[in-house]
Structure 1
Amino acid sequence: MRYAGIAWTDAGYRVEVLDGAGRRVVEPSSWGAAQVSELIAWLVELAQEHPLAAVLDSTNGLLDGPMTAAGLAVCRADPWLLPPRPRFGSVPAHRLAEQALRTPGELARVTAEGGTLTGRAEEYFEGVRRSEPIQAALTAAGRCFEHGRRDTPQVALTFDDGPDPVYTRRILETLDRYGVRATFFCVGHHVAALPDEVRRIVAAGHEVGNHSWSHPFLPDLTPDQLREQIDRTGEAVARVTGEAPTWFRPPYGALTPEVLATLEGHPTTMTMWDVDSRDWSRPGPERIAATVLESAGPGSVVLLHEGAGDRGQTVRALPTIIEGLLERGLEPVTVGELSAAPSDRTESSRQPAPAERP
């Protein structure tokens, strides 16, 4: 077995491939954040020559989806197996490959069904459970938004993990066809690599939110690392659009009291959801649409995806979702619009849109 350690940096990815004896198979290589398709094609070619597994750490949640979709074996090396990470970036690529060689049985084999957190679901749900009282207090204080008023005939469609060079445009075309607006929670890695796609989102009248830089499992980060992820993404969006996002969505919705303590001191407002389309599991466009329409109601925030994987099923499900919502009298709007008080919406309908979200 060969192991391809893949580290993320501010500019893209660094890859080192070792064979079973710890020897380099090829020279270490660097790939830009916009070269994911090329990177995966290269790894697939290597895997055809000899069995190969890609090795990531838990701060890299952007590659497992497209890699498993391409048929690659993907493993995750967890923090207790690795040395401390830098403030920004993952464990070095060679260290990831070496760890796989030393303790292959201790790495988690990531599956398409389990996603990035395969094998850590119990830990994830325990963290969410312990966070419930704190999250409720943040919601009451206006620092966390999960859904809007239940007497408001509006729904927020939200798209995570982009922008994407293919699927963002297709989703924008569909939204434009129906004349509805949405919120795109973008990752900094993709914003820096694909600024023109972010400009397309904003030019079409949609809203941009912050979804971290590398889509990490937040409980594995130190407070400084977490703030760096959010701040760098906000700065990247501001460079492109002129305004930093005020909404932050935690990857996977992964929370612990420690994560919430860090977020409580951050100026962004945490944004969750109450309708999960589960489109990331690729159950088929009909199932995605049915899941949303069976659960969505007035004030709902719907979780969908546009990046970090094959999102063709989401694109095909979107017209059915929008038509179903409209038939029920539910208007798709941005998170900012949904979160506004009724009086604010009435006032904004008589005046030009404010320069900043409320």
Structure 2
Amino acid sequence: MEVVDADGRTVAPAVRFPARRAAEIVGHLNGFGEPVVAVVDSTNGVLDGGLTVAGIEVHRADPQLLPDRPPFGSVPAGVLARVAQRDLDRLPRLDLADGTLRGRGDDLNAGFAASADTVTELTAAGRCLTHGRRDRDEIALTFDDGPLPPYTGQILDILDSYQVKATFFCVGLLVDAYPEIVDEIRRRGHELGNHTWSHPFLPELSRAESDEQVQRTGEALAAATGTAPPTLFRPPYGGRSPQALTGLAETGMTTVLWDALGWDWALPGVDRIVESVSTGTGPGSVVLLHDGGGDRSQTVAALPKILDGLLDRGLRFVTVDHLLATSHPTQARPATSQPVEAR
């Protein structure tokens, strides 16, 4: 992190925060005695939620305003700060509802439309899943953007109390920061998936950048668990293009989307999260919630109500791999996650 003033002069020496100390960033920014605007590179969708909740104004810097970035990572922090100092009005201001997707809605929807046939083809081949069979009362509960204490641990305890297994799509930055939590997920009998290294908008990346994000996250997951990298993959925001989906399949990844969600990243309140999941979920659903990416206390509070409601409807919780296997029983697929042992 580097902080500059209105004239572009460095205010304080640059400082680096490991992902495990990301919560300290808010205190650092608040220590300047006056409001500070934070700027994140467009490939980083990990920090904005926590900063926004803390009342810090956050903007996103896109590639067209920046020098070429390295194949993996961001341009230097000082470059981001000075671009904002010169052109803040050209940098989208982020909010909780859209996160780093802010201003990209048209691009996201265009990607959905362009990828429809590819999704259909990959689904038929067992390489993409939006939902399972509608004639079976089975659903998969999934969590994105972790691991993140204390929320991941609290969610694991609740799942244990209900004897429910879930699938966790993890961000590589946080896997590297909290490998012990990732291994705890595995040891408790849950499934792991890949959610990129830094939560970028996938269609914006080159094939080489996308491959690097996925490969590094897989390596971090393997190092944390001592097992093979999972081949389940969820694109951040569901962002996709035909080229991105095909490229993922060519590297052995299976893309996992969803058909029910709680909108919990926007902190709409516990009752709204419960209502959204309940209304959207039916037989075969893949349910999207979050254990990371910011304050997830509402998700933790909503989870028992969600589980009670769905179980009362006779729905049975299974892993994503199970939904894939029952949807494509004749497909010979490699294992999409490591073997797990119940705690």
Task: State the TM-score bracket (shorter-chain normalisation).
Answer: over 0.9
Partner of 1:310: 295
State the 1:36 CA deviation.
1.1
Query: Which of 275, 291, 294 matches 2:276?
Result: 291
Query: Which of 12, 19, 25 matches 2:11?
Result: 25
User: Counterpart amino acid of 2:84?
Assistant: A
Q: Does 2:33 align with 1:43?
A: no
Query: Which of 137, 148, 155 matches 1:153?
Result: 137
Partner of 1:244: 229
Determine helix, strand or coil for the equivalent of 2:89.
Answer: helix
Instruction: Calculate the TM-score normalised by the size of structure 1.
Output: 0.90
Partner of 1:16: 2
Q: Does 2:249 align with 1:264?
A: yes
State the 1:129 CA deviation.
1.1
Runs of 5+ consecutive residues of structure 1 not aligned to the other structure:
1-14, 345-353
- Equivalent pairs, count: 332
Taking the aligned partners of 1:148 and 1:203, their CA distance within structure 2 comes to 26
Query: Which of 103, 106, 113 matches 1:129?
Result: 113
Taking the aligned partners of 2:55 and 2:88, their CA distance within structure 1 comes to 19
Taking the aligned partners of 1:205 and 1:222, their CA distance within structure 2 comes to 35
User: Counterpart amino acid of 2:185?
Assistant: I
Partner of 2:172: 188
8 Å contact kept, 2:265–2:293: no
CA deviations on 1:192-214 (whole Å, 9 max, x unpaired) are 00001001101110001000000
8 Å contact kept, 2:151–2:297: yes
Taking the aligned partners of 2:289 and 2:317, their CA distance within structure 1 comes to 13
Query: Which of 53, 78, 82 matches 1:94?
Result: 78
State the 1:121 CA deviation.
0.9
State the 1:230 CA deviation.
0.3
State the 1:261 CA deviation.
3.3
Instruction: Calculate the TM-score normalised by the size of structure 2.
Output: 0.94
Q: Does 2:23 align with 1:72?
A: no
Percent identity among equivalent residues? Answer: 51
User: Counterpart amino acid of 2:24?
Assistant: E
User: Counterpart amino acid of 2:89?
Assistant: G
Q: Does 2:47 align with 1:63?
A: yes
8 Å contact kept, 2:126–2:328: no
State the 1:355 CA deviation.
6.7
Partner of 2:311: 326
RMSD, aligned CA: 1.6
Partner of 1:221: 205
Distance change >3 Å, CA 193–CA 355, structure 1 → 2: closer
User: Counterpart amino acid of 1:98?
Assistant: R
Partner of 1:140: 124
Taking the aligned partners of 2:99 and 2:223, their CA distance within structure 1 comes to 31
Partner of 2:181: 197
Partner of 1:348: none
Distance change >3 Å, CA 309–CA 355, structure 1 → 2: closer
Determine helix, strand or coil for the equivalent of 2:75.
Answer: coil
CA deviations on 1:127-161 (whole Å, 9 max, x unpaired) are 11111111111111111111111111111100000
User: Counterpart amino acid of 1:318?
Assistant: L
Taking the aligned partners of 2:108 and 2:31, their CA distance within structure 1 comes to 34
State the 1:113 CA deviation.
2.2
8 Å contact kept, 2:245–2:255: no
Taking the aligned partners of 1:356 and 1:315, their CA distance within structure 2 comes to 27
Taking the aligned partners of 2:31 and 2:247, their CA distance within structure 1 comes to 42
User: Counterpart amino acid of 1:42?
Assistant: H
**Relative contact order, higher structure (CA 8 A, sep 6+):** 2
Determine helix, strand or coil for the equivalent of 2:16.
Answer: strand
CA deviations on 1:236-255 (whole Å, 9 max, x unpaired) are 10111112111000000001
